Every structure is written in C-alpha cells, then in structure tokens.
Structure 1
Amino acid sequence: MTDEPDDPDGARTGEPYRVAELTWREIEAALERTSTLLVPVGATEQHGHHLPLGVDVYMPEAIGERVAERSPALLAPPIWYGVSPHHAFKPGTFTLSSETFRRYVADVCASAGRWGIENIVLLNGHYLAQDPELEIVVRELRTEHGLEAFHAPLVNLFAEVAAEIRTGDVSFHASEFETSIMLELLPELVHVDRAERVDPPEESLPLTDYDALGTNEVGWALTADDMDELTRAGNIGDPTVATAEKGEALVAAAVSKLCDLVDALEDAD
C-alpha cells in the first residue's frame, strides 16, 4: 500500500498514512506532520452487469491513497454504506436512512477531532445521490465541532476533464466515467464483455437531466421504481465507450485538486 507511486515525478511524503494499519503511537507521531484526514465515503450498491457493488468506495479510497502518497494527510478506513434507496431494486444494494448516514459520518469525523485531527476532507464516491447529506455533515462539523471540514464529490473534481474527453452522450450511473475510472484503478473487477448501453428517456423534465455533467438546476431524486423502469441492466448511459486512458485522466484531475487543498490546509496550520 505504501510502495513508490507509479508517477516517478510525483512528490511523496515517505510516511505511512493508512490509519487502520497504524498503532496509536504511530498515529501520535503522524500528527506531528499532519492534521488532515481524508475520509472515503461511498456506498455498496448495484452498478450494472459489468461493475462490482463497491465502485463508490473503491474510487475514493484509491484516489485518497494517491493523494496521501503525495501530500501530508492520513487516510481513514472507508465508509462502505450510503444513501442508496433508488438502487434497492437490484440485490446486493445496502442503504441507510439519510438521518442514520449523516449521524454516522459526523460521529466518525468528530471522533477524529478528539485525537488531534483539525481538517477533514470527505471524498464522496457516491456523488450526486448523497451530496445533500454530506453538505449537512460538513456544516455540523464546522459549527459544532470546530473542524475545518470539506465535502469533495469526485465528479466535481474531474468535471472539466470529463467534459473534454467524454465520447458518450450520457454518463449517469455505472457508465463512461465510473467504468473508465475502474478500468484505471481496478481493471480486474471490470467485466467489459458484459457492459451494455442503456439510454435514458430522450427528454427529461425542465431543469433536470439524466447526466452526471447535466444541467440539473433543481434538486430531484429517483426512486427504486423509477430506476427499475429506466434500466434493466442497472446502469444508465454507455459504459462501452469507457477506457483506462480516460480513467487515468479523470483520476489525475481529482488527485491534483485534492493535493492542492491538502497542501493549503497544512500550510495554514
């Protein structure tokens, strides 16, 4: 987990960063060099015929690893369960109530504050769906616990690059972006031969859009029945156009922006 990064030009802290692998005395020592904690937050839910249930955790955890290899930060164990009621139409999906999820994430982060963490960055791999909950968590951590807290939805971090390199018209769930990232990070878990294109309705309601980079001007959500009607396979969009090269570009964009944030936080302490 702590081998040299693939990029020989990437700076490296040279220090262990995975909280779960350290002793409490090693955590004490680590707090001498950093007060920032990266918390991968995802979900365990269906991702079509071609992707595993853990996509939304695998992505932020791997991106967090790359950030911690280059910038001074600790990496928390990931949060595997999220707000996924709209995916409950397929087996293997776990979902929490919004209240339970918010309380759990907030408690995890607040406990880190008690042993010396000052900055929290929530790396959200289940972006769009649980953005509202994590925005509330960030506000609570800042106002009630005195932590410098940030919510980082992965799609926001790589949106500019995604818009430039995409070839599919729609990538809403388990399609071009997520499949490309998984082909870069964990290709052995991607069943390319099972991927299929699923087109959403040609028209959506005004101010809404079935696309991760779409023009969604109002808050809205899908139910499990909605998803069941929209997709037999489970994905929405075209995963067949995904490539590892696209994934590499998306991951690099996210890592670069997160490193900038972490470095600034540490410089300010």
Structure 2
Amino acid sequence: MRLQHATWQEVEAYLQRETGIIVPIGSTEQHGPNGLVGTDAICPETIAWELGERYGVLVAPTQNLGMAQHHLAFPGTVSLRPSTLIAVLRDTVTSLSRHGFTHIFFLNGHGGNIGTMSAAFAEIYGERSLGYGPQPATELHLTTSNWFAGPRVRELAESLYGDAEGTHATASEVALSWCARPEAVKQVDMSPRIAPRGSAQCDADEFRRRFPDGRMGSDPSLASVEHGQRFLEAGVADAWEAYRAFTQAG
C-alpha cells in the first residue's frame, strides 16, 4: 500500500489497525559506468514497495535526495546540505506523527545519509523532550534500517562477488536496480576490473581524483537481473524482520 496512491480515508482506516509506516530514503548520485544515478533510492523503494504488496504495510513517498556532496564532480548528482536533510526529515516525521503514526521506519539505501539521519532523530527527540512547540499527543519511535547491511543481503553479496562487491557502485546495488529497471541494463567493460579503494571523506574534486569512474573497490560488471531478483528476496526478508522487531518492541 503506497501512501501517494491512497485516499485520506484509506490512510485513516489504516491507522485504526496499524501505526507503523516505511519511508524509503536514498540519494541521487553517480554510480559508476553502468549504475543508475537513482540507484540509492530505487533499491530501498523497490524493497519497500514489495513489503507493501506482501504485508499491507503503508509505504511513504521516497526521499530521493540525500547527502551526496562528494559525488558532485560527476554530472547528474544532486545533493542536500546536512541542515537541509535534517529539516526535511524533521518535517516529514512531524507530519506523520500528527496523524497518529508512532513507528516510522526509514529504509535507507545510501551510507552517506546515516550520520545526518541520526542527527535528525536527535533533533526531533530533543524538541519533544525540551517541550518546544505543542506537546505531542502520541508516542514516537524512529529507526533506520540499511537494506545493504542486512544479514541475508551481506551473505548473498559475499557469495556472489567476494572482494569485488566494493563499497560504492557495488555489484549488489546495481543488480537490484536492474531488477527494478531491466530496460536500463548496461554492459560496460571496467578498467581496472576492480576499482581503487579508499575513503570518501573529501570534497567532490578530490573524490573524482581518487575514483575516476566513480566506483569504490567494486566490479559492477558482475551484476545481473537474476542476481537482482535474489537481492530483492533477501532484502525483503531482512527488512520485514527488522520492521516487525521495531514495531513490536515499542
């Protein structure tokens, strides 16, 4: 069930039986020679939509823009400042909480979002604790689950790609994005086959000097649609397990 495809009456009825919601969040940034710019949003969105279909959980619109400043030397990347993303997340949570959502589960597809999301949660909880503005009438629980870090996904990536998985423009995320968008499959020779490794803690120009084609330690030419289907199943299993544990614990 997708929030943007529901009427307000349907959302109101949903809240009578369940107060959890999944918010996919990612980024719009380069993903090497054969990866889509939208990969980090497409991957969690695809898993979340499948969860909605299978289990009837409500899925919010995807937050497609994230923390991607270090990719800005590559055309197509769009990045938010940390303060902007914090404000967007705060307003998103405040809106959902107002309607009675108590458990907001962010399914994340971009490692660069993690620190800022933690800061956003701290800001939200701080405002509630310090009594700024009208006091909320409902409880509030927030969490982040990174689809790419789930145990089933990690085990599958290790078995398929080993050290060639890498840390950015990975074979697993390219495969999952191709599963969602098979018309976008691109066969590209990688040179070198496995990209250089290193840190992304730098500005955009330095990042492109370190990683000329945008990859970090990966060989995404190993990806396939069939692999993507397997990652979808693994990602759904990981995310559903995490979501149920989150909603049942609070």
TM-score by length of 1: 0.79
In structure 1, list runs of 5 or more residues that go unmatched. 1-16, 205-209, 211-219
Match of 2:13 in 1: 29
Q: Do the aligned residues in 2 keep the contact of 1:35 with 1:73 (CA within 8 Å)?
A: no
Give me the whole-angstrom Cα distance separating, in 2, the residues matched to 1:102 and 1:130: 10
- Whether 1:226 and 2:203 are equivalent positions in the alignment is no
Give me the whole-angstrom Cα distance separating, in 2, the residues matched to 1:53 and 1:130: 16
Give me the whole-angstrom Cα distance separating, in 1, the residues matched to 2:55 and 2:211: 40
- Whether 1:247 and 2:228 are equivalent positions in the alignment is yes
Match of 1:129 in 2: 112
Match of 1:119 in 2: 103
Match of 1:151 in 2: 144
* CA offsets 1:87-124 (integer angstroms, 9 cap, x no match): 10011111111111112112112210100111111111
Q: 1:262 aligns with which of 238, 243, 250?
A: 243
Give me the whole-angstrom Cα distance separating, in 2, the residues matched to 1:254 and 1:135: 22
Q: Secondary structure at the match of 1:161?
A: helix
Give me the whole-angstrom Cα distance separating, in 1, the residues matched to 2:121 and 2:157: 26
TM-score by length of 2: 0.84
Following superposition, the deviation at residue 167 of structure 1 comes to 4.2
Q: Aligned letter for 1:129?
A: G
Give me the whole-angstrom Cα distance separating, in 1, the residues matched to 2:239 and 2:219: 28
Following superposition, the deviation at residue 42 of structure 1 comes to 1.0
Match of 2:36 in 1: 52
Give me the whole-angstrom Cα distance separating, in 1, the residues matched to 2:166 and 2:220: 8
CA RMSD, Structure 1 to Structure 2 (Å): 2.3
Q: Do the aligned residues in 1 keep the contact of 2:68 with 2:78 (CA within 8 Å)?
A: yes
Residue correspondences, number? 236
Q: Do the aligned residues in 2 keep the contact of 1:18 with 1:76 (CA within 8 Å)?
A: yes
In structure 2, list runs of 5 or more residues that go unmatched. 129-138
Q: Do the aligned residues in 1 keep the contact of 2:195 with 2:219 (CA within 8 Å)?
A: no
The 5-angstrom pairing of residues 57-68 of structure 1 reads 57-68=41-52
Following superposition, the deviation at residue 142 of structure 1 comes to 4.7
Give me the whole-angstrom Cα distance separating, in 1, the residues matched to 2:89 and 2:205: 28
